[in-house]
Amino acid sequence: MDIEIKEMLIQMQKDIKDISVRVKNIETNQVNVSNAEHKNWHMLADKLGQYDLILHKLYGKKGSEKE
């Protein structure tokens, strides 16, 4: 009986270690996704700024200005 309990505990330790590694990978992936999304928002803001400059050159006002 004691051997069976020890084996179960050893397996639980292995499972916990495996779960810890998986959680660490998930956390790393979430950080990477968050950083990529942040970069994409900055790229979009830059493109919208360029669009505003083009509108200003074409029509004398920026797209964000009201008529």
Q: How many CB atoms lie within 10 A of CB 16?
A: 10
Burial string for 26-47 (b: 16+ CB within 10 Å, else e) reads: eeeeeeeeeeeeeeeeeeeeee
Q: What confidence score (pLDDT) does residue 60 get?
A: 86
pLDDT at 67 over 90: no
pLDDT at 62 over 90: no
The model's pLDDT over 7-56, given as tens digits with 9 standing for 90+, comes to 999 999 999 999 999 999 999 999 999 999 999 999 999 999 999 999 88
pTM: 0.62
